[in-house]
């Protein structure tokens, strides 16, 4: 039996311990905001927070998630949109939108670590998240907006 | 966004939960994904006032507008309804966009070729204007005033003289009783009063996307569904000889394996075939599949190896091909000698690699199938499933969730057919999820191409003769086993439409056999044709010792309409008439001049390793010029600090979405130019995930792309694809300016740029 907290709710999992957290979230809990993109931590579409840090849920097994506090895109907004989500809307970042949950989760983590990130900080942290539509310059602008800077 | 549905009517849970008459079930599907029901019609149909399949006005004032094209990131799901809302004079905040199921009554739903706005701008206007006129007439009748005295404000009909006002909802029932006006009665709003068209709106789904609520094909769920991961034949057309599924069946959650027959050629949109591992969750299906042992009869395409094939294409390109366009006499000019330039270019196969791999959920029962598919073409889903299952097209209901990218891949519904075949065999709803490896190894690839170019330069350095020859396996091979020759639809894309003012000009092509599935990829044949023609134009400029921008303008020549039909009788002009959409060199000139001016061409002081390059290209009836600025250091590392793109797409409905498309196209262009390469060895694709098929990441993409939209009175043209073709040649021309190294083969990762 694996115990973990997801979006504030205590959960018990009795399936295969090698199941990646991604598929537990999507298939078992129906939290489909977290996306499957590559299965190898190469694209970042599956990014969630584990104990406040951005992780790739596609390579994080349930065994490794045991006892942790997981937050997904569905639980980021409270009393209206999260400032990063607000910035995403303001800058009109998404095109298809599929990667954006992961981008937003990664950006939140970046801003937690570095409230005023430089271009280099943004490149370093966000280059693990692929956007095939190519919204990178808007992602950068939205991160700066959320950081309270002028983009 | 769970929805409580009375499922017994829909026959969903029969034999699974209960047989009660009013079984309620929570379905994790947003209403919009299935509100358009084959049985009861769309919400628009159910509204009292619905003079067109595209809209309905309800008594509470809600305006339902049907989005019949697929949304894959181009914002057509927003921009087309916006056109209708404009002519209806609706308040956008009271509009609900409803996604259509696949149904021919909406017209073409094949969301490709950058023609959603081009083809449906007018039908949307007419639908909106029709409903507005009916609402105005209903109000005029109620008030006993002439209809010509009634105006609309957003969502309200107004009679100023009597200060009477009535909302659209109040008038809907009365308006519905009136005859639907004829087209010649319609009055369109003057452009000066437009609230939405030309101003645009953010995506209807923007906030849902940013909160994880938006439902993509990957997110479709229905009760009782199973999941499938399919081991596809490693070589195109290979058949299963034998397989061992003992190990997969030991994986917890795996229930069975099912063989899908290999297609009978041509492959068209049929499933590839293979062995499906079925489980109660995606992970178990994928894990089980990894343990499957299969032996294949690989068949004739096992001969395909990219290195050898490349040599064959290049050899073919050195010999005369079939002339697709011919004017003057290039051979006579070349025979005179003088300054002759020759160059060869090569672009490999590319994969689409949309962030959401192909995915579909199908529920087959009693001779009918309901499908939720990430598809660009729900009517093709209906046709393909009808053929594969032997049921009528009308028995296929195809819902279209949001697509996590498409880029042309999702025009082909092979994966939806897989889901339907499996659901029929298993007797439960089945969701087929392609892995990233499946996506990259079993794509409908962008074709591989070799180009040969030759020009004779006159005393002023401008060409007196220009010969261009391309060789590539045609998309026709997907539909016809003998389809080796390029079609006019491929040759129009940057080959027969060359606008250069050269008296002797010939565009040739030779066919080649296809050994993988070939399909459309964002801007298609324009990619390699523009790469060759626009790189070679730059080579000619440098050979002539002239500035590339000034030279490009001279090549395009004076403002005129190019009479392309005279020398290329088969030229199809993307299905647009040459009266409405001529090849207009004034528009080429304008975008070249604008991009050059905005980029600071010739005015910027460039340091060591810095350079700027330009390319211009018309595709999907839109004119685009792109200036790329690069920095290349001694180690050969490339940075792209800035891109300036000028766009003339005629009337632009949604400028912000258009800018987004061109910013994205620069990144897409960067991906294919820097890294994009699919190769095969013995018929097996060598790449499999983003490690071996990289696409641009933030630190590799252009830092800043500036998009300038030309104000234009021309009819609307495409915006989804046209940003891609000029990017790679502009980038490589910039690299030449920075380093003196001419890149003639993509991707750049194959070239050494350092000193």
B321 shares a domain with B202: no
B286 and B386: one domain?
Answer: yes
Nearest beta carbon to residue A98 from set B281, B404, B670:
B404
- Tell me the pLDDT tens digit for each residue of B98-143: 999 999 999 999 999 999 999 999 999 999 999 999 999 999 999 9
Query: Is B755 contained in some domain?
Result: no
Q: Are residues A35 and A53 both part of a single domain?
A: yes
Q: Which one, of B107, B48, B30, B114, lies nearest residue B79 by Cα?
A: B114
How is chain B split among helix, strand and coil, in percent rounded to 5?
35, 25, 40
Average pLDDT over residues B651-659: 97
Are A16 and A52 part of one and the same domain? yes
Same domain flag for B147 and B294: no
Asked whether the beta carbons of residue A27 and residue B282 sit closer than 8 angstroms, the reply is yes
Peptide bond into B266 cis (omega under 30): yes
Residue B39, pLDDT score: 52
Identify the CA nearest to B721 among candidates B429, B332, B446.
B446
DSSP one-letter code for B160: T
State how beta strands A53-56 and A69-71 pair. unpaired
B439 assigned to some structural domain: no
Q: What percentage of chain B reaches a pLDDT higher than 90? A: 93
Q: Is the pLDDT of residue B8 over 90?
A: no
What is the extent of the structural domain holding A33?
2-74
- Whether B162 and B311 map to the same domain: the answer is no
Domain endpoint, select from A44, A74, A104: A74
SS (H, E, C) chain A: CEEEEECCEEEEECCCCCCEHHHHHHHHCCCCCCCCCCCCCCCCCCEEEECCEEEECCCCEHHHHCCCEEECHHHCCCCCCCHHHHHHHHHCCCCCCCCHHHHHHHHHHHHHHCCCCCHHHHHHHHCCCCCCCCCHHHHHHHHHHHCCCCC
Query: For the domain that residue A137 is a member of, what is the CATH number?
Result: 1.10.150.120
Q: A6 and A70 share a domain?
A: yes
* CATH assignment at residue A61: 3.10.20.30
- For B242, the enclosing helix (H) or strand (E) is strand B239-244
**B698–A127: do the CB atoms touch at under 8 Å?**
yes
* Per-residue b or e along B428-460, where b marks 16 or more CB atoms closer than 10 Å to that residue's CB: bbbbbbbbbbbbbbbbbbbbbbbbbbbbbbeee
Report the pLDDT value the prediction gives residue B484, as an integer from 0 to 100: 87
Q: What is the pLDDT of residue B23?
A: 29
Predicted model pTM: 0.95
Residues B353 and B541: beta-carbon distance below 8 Å: no
Average pLDDT over residues A106-133: 98
* R_g over Cα of chain A: 15
Residues B554 and B571 in one domain: yes
Q: How many independent structural domains does chain B possess? A: 4
- Give pLDDT tens digits for B376-396: 999 999 999 999 999 999 999
**B255 and B108, same structural domain?**
no
Domain closes at, from A23, A45, A74:
A74
The answer to the question of residue B438 being in a domain is no
Residues B97 and B189 occupy one common structural domain:
yes
Shared domain check, A8 and A66: yes
pLDDT at B17: 30
- Put simply, the answer to whether B216 touches A35 (Cβ < 8 Å) is yes
Give B41's pLDDT tier (boundaries 50, 70, 90): confident
Residue A57 maps to a domain = yes
B584: nearest Cα among B566, B552, B565, B558: B558
Q: What would the pLDDT profile of A87-114 be if each residue is shown by its tens digit?
A: 999 999 999 999 999 999 999 999 999 9
Task: Encode pLDDT of B672-698 as tens digits.
Answer: 999 999 999 999 999 999 999 999 999
Same domain, B204 and B243: no
Q: Alpha helices of B89-167 — where are they, by DSSP H?
A: 116-143
ipTM, 2 dp:
0.98
Contact A51, A67 (CB under 8 A): no
Per-residue model confidence as pLDDT tens digits over B622-654: 999 999 999 999 999 999 999 999 999 999 999
Chain A contact for B161, CB < 8 A?
no
- Better pLDDT: B483 or B78: B78
Q: How far is A42 from chain B (nearest CA, A)?
A: 6
B35 pLDDT band (50/70/90 cuts)?
A: very low
* Residue B133 and residue B249 in one domain: no
pLDDT of residue A78: 85
Is residue A151 assigned to a domain? no
**Domain match, B543 and B589 both:** yes
Residue from the list B209, B668, B698 with its beta carbon closest to the beta carbon of A123: B698
Rounded mean pLDDT of B508-525? 98
Q: Indicate whether A113 and A135 sit together in one domain.
A: yes
- Mean pLDDT over each residue of chain B, to the nearest integer: 94
CATH number of the domain that residue B98 is part of: 3.30.365.10
Structure tokens given for B596? 């050059």
Q: Is the pLDDT of residue B31 over 90?
A: no
Is A126 part of any domain? yes
Residues A108 and A129 in one domain: yes
Q: B653 vs chain A: nearest CA distance in angstroms?
A: 16
Quote the pLDDT of residue B430.
98
Domain co-membership, A68 together with A30: yes
> Mind listing the pLDDT tens digit for each residue in A30-67?
999 999 999 999 999 999 999 999 999 999 999 999 99
A128 and A66 within one domain: no
Out of B194, B210, B226, a domain closes at B210
- Same domain membership, residue A87 and residue A58: no
> Alpha helix locations (H) across B427-525?
436-441, 488-491
CA–CA gap between residue B68 and residue B49 (Å, rounded): 19
Measure in Å the smallest separation between the Cα of B78 and chain A Cα atoms. Answer: 12
- Please provide the DSSP assignment of B184-198 as one string: GG--PPPGGG-SSTT
Q: Which of B375, B409, B433 is the last residue of a domain?
A: B433
Domain count, chain A: 2
DSSP alpha helix (H) spans, B282-329: 282-290, 306-317
C-alpha span between B701 and A134 (Å, rounded): 8
Q: Are residues B580 and B689 in the same domain?
A: yes
Residues of A in contact with B406 (CB under 8 A): 96
Could you say which residues from 414 to 443 on chain B have a Cβ atom under 8 Å away from some Cβ of chain A? Answer: 433, 435-436
Residue A95: closest CA among chain B residues belongs to which residue? B73
Give chain B's radius of gyration (CA, Å): 28
Report the alpha-carbon distance of residue B264 to residue B261 in Å, rounded: 9
Cβ proximity of A122 and A90 under 8 Å = no
Closest by Cβ to A95, choosing from B660, B689, B700: B660
Both tokens assigned to B557: 């020549």
Write out the two tokens for B178: 């009136």
Contact A97 B404 (CB under 8 A): yes
Residue B214 neighbours by CB under 8 Å, 6+ apart: A97, B205, B208, B402
DSSP β-ladder status, B55-57 and B430-433: unpaired
Report the residue of chain B nearest A45, measured CA to CA.
Answer: B355
Which of chain B's residues have a Cβ under 8 Å away from the Cβ of A26? 219, 282
B249 and B152 in a common domain: no
**CA within 13 Å, CB half, B529:** 26
Q: What is the pLDDT of residues B141-188, one digit of tens each?
A: 999 999 999 999 999 999 999 999 999 999 999 999 999 999 999 999
Nearest to B354 by CA among B415, B438, B439, B446: B439
Last residue of a domain, one of A53, A74, A95: A74
B487 vs B18, residue with greater confidence:
B487
Where is the domain boundary, B182, B210, B238?
A: B210
Residue B457, beta-bridge partner list: B339, B463
| Structural domain range at position B14 | 1-34
């Amino acid at each position: 039996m694996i115990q973990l907290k997801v979006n504030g709710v205590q959960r018990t999992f009795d399936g295969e311990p090698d199941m990646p957290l991604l598929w537990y979230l999507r298939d078992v809990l129906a939290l489909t905001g977290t996306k499957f993109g590559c299965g190898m931590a190469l694209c970042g579409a599956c990014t969630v927070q584990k104990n406040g840090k951005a992780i790739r849920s596609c390579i994080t097994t349930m065994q490794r998630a045991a006892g942790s506090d997981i937050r997904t895109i569905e639980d980021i907004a409270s009393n209206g949109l999260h400032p990063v989500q607000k910035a995403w809307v303001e800058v009109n970042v998404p095109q298809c939108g599929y990667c954006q949950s992961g981008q937003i989760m990664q950006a939140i983590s970046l801003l937690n670590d570095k409230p005023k990130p430089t271009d280099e900080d943004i490149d370093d942290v966000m280059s693990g998240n692929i956007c095939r539509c190519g919204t990178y310059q808007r992602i950068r602008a939205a991160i700066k907006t959320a950081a309270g800077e002028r983009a | 966004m769970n929805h409580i549905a009375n499922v017994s009517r829909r026959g969903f849970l029969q034999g699974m939960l209960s047989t009660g008459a009013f079984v309620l079930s929570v379905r994790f599907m947003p209403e919009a994904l299935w509100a358009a029901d084959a049985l009861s019609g769309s919400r628009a149909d159910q509204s009292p006032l619905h003079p067109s399949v595209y809209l309905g006005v309800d008594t509470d004032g809600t305006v339902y507008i049907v989005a019949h094209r697929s949304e894959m990131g181009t914002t057509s799901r927003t921009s087309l309804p916006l056109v209708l809302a404009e002519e209806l004079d609706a308040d956008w905040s009271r509009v609900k966009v409803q996604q259509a199921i696949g149904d021919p009554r909406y017209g073409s739903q094949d969301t490709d070729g950058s023609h959603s706005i081009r083809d449906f701008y007018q039908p949307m206007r007419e639908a909106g204007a029709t409903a507005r006129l009916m609402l105005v007439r209903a109000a005029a009748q109620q008030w006993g005033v002439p209809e010509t005295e009634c105006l609309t404000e957003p969502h309200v009909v107004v009679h100023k003289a009597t200060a009477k006002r009535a909302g659209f909802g109040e008038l809907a029932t009365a308006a519905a009783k009136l005859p639907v006006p004829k087209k010649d009665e319609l009055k369109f709003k003057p452009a000066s009063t437009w609230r939405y068209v030309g101003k645009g709106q953010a995506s209807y789904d923007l906030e849902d996307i940013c909160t994880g609520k938006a439902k993509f094909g990957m997110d479709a769920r229905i009760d009782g569904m199973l999941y499938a991961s399919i081991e596809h034949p490693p070589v195109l057309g290979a058949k299963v000889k034998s397989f061992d599924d003992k190990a997969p069946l030991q994986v917890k959650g795996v229930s069975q394996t099912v063989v899908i027959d290999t297609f009978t050629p041509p492959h068209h949109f049929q499933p590839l075939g293979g062995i499906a591992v079925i489980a109660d969750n995606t992970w178990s299906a994928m894990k089980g599949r990894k343990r499957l042992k299969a032996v294949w009869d690989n068949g004739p395409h096992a001969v395909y190896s990219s290195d050898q094939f490349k040599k064959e294409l290049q050899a073919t390109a050195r010999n005369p091909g079939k002339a697709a366009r011919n004017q003057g006499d290039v051979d006579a000019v070349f025979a005179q000698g003088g300054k002759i330039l020759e160059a060869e270019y090569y672009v490999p196969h590319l994969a689409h690699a949309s962030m959401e791999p192909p995915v579909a959920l199908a529920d087959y029962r009693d001779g009918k199938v309901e499908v939720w598919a990430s598809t660009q073409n729900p009517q093709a889903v209906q046709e393909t499933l009808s053929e594969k299952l032997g049921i009528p097209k009308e028995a296929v209901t195809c819902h279209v969730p949001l697509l996590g990218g498409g880029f042309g891949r999702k025009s082909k519904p092979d994966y939806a057919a897989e889901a339907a075949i499996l659901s029929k065999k298993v007797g439960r709803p089945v969701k087929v999820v392609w892995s990233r490896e499946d996506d990259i190894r079993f794509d409908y690839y962008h074709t591989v191409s070799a180009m040969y170019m030759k020009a004779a330069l006159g005393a002023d350095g401008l060409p007196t003769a220009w010969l261009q020859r391309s060789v590539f396996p045609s998309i026709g091979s997907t539909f016809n086993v003998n389809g080796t020759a390029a079609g006019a639809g491929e040759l129009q894309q940057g080959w027969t439409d060359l606008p250069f003012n050269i008296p002797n000009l010939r565009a040739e092509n030779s066919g080649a056999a296809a050994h993988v599935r070939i399909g459309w990829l964002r801007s298609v044949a324009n990619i390699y044709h523009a790469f060759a023609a626009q790189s070679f134009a730059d080579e000619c400029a440098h050979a002539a010792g002239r500035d590339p921008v000034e030279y490009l303008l001279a090549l395009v020549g004076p403002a005129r309409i190019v009479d392309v039909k005279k020398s290329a009788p088969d030229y199809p002009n993307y299905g647009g008439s040459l009266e409405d959409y001529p090849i207009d060199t004034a528009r080429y000139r304008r975008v070249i001049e604008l991009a050059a001016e905005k980029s600071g061409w010739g005015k910027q002081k460039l340091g060591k390793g810095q350079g700027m390059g330009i390319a211009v290209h018309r595709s999907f009836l839109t004119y685009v010029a792109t200036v790329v600025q690069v920095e290349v250091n001694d180690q050969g590392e490339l940075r792209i600090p800035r891109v300036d793109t000028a766009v003339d797409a005629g009337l632009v409905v949604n400028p912000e979405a258009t800018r987004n498309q061109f910013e994205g196209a620069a990144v897409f262009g960067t991906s294919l130019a820097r890294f994009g390469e699919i190769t095969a060895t013995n018929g097996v694709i060598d790449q499999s995930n983003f490690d071996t098929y990289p696409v641009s990441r933030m630190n590799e993409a252009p830092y800043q792309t500036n998009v300038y939209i030309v104000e234009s009175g021309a009819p609307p043209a495409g915006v989804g694809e046209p940003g891609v073709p000029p990017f790679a040649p502009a980038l490589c021309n910039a690299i030449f300016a920075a380093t003196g190294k001419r890149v003639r083969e993509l991707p750049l990762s194959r070239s050494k740029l350092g000193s």
